[in-house]
Amino acid sequence: MRNLDEEKYKRAAEKVKEIKGFYSNLVSYVLVNAFLVFINLTYSPEYYWFIFPMIGWGIGILIHGFTVFGNRWIFSKEWEEKQIKKYMDKDKH
């Protein structure tokens, strides 16, 4: 039984690590691209080159998201059920 709990813990910890990595990537994407937009509009506003790294990295973000979350969306029915169960379990304690 203990080995099963340890295995569950390892899988859960790995999943949390993957999700954390995705959100770190997403935050980097937003911050870096905001900076690129600022530089572009400040120094060469006649040509919007910032769109190219934004699209390329955005595709990477989408792929990363599908890798981490699978083919379901974040706010799927399954997500709702997990959240309901989580809050119900919190009320028990």
- Cα(9)–Cα(17) distance, rounded to whole angstroms? 12
Q: How far is CA 54 from CA 11, 29, 61, 67, in A?
A: 33, 8, 10, 20
- pLDDT computed for residue 72 by the predictor: 63
DSSP tally for the chain: helices H, then strands E: 3, 0
Residue 24 tokens read as 């770190």
pLDDT band at 73 (very low <50, low <70, confident <90, very high): low
- pLDDT computed for residue 12 by the predictor: 87
Q: Tell me what the mean pLDDT of segment 8-15 comes to.
A: 88
pLDDT tens-digit series, residues 24-70: 999 999 999 999 999 999 999 999 999 999 999 999 999 999 888 87
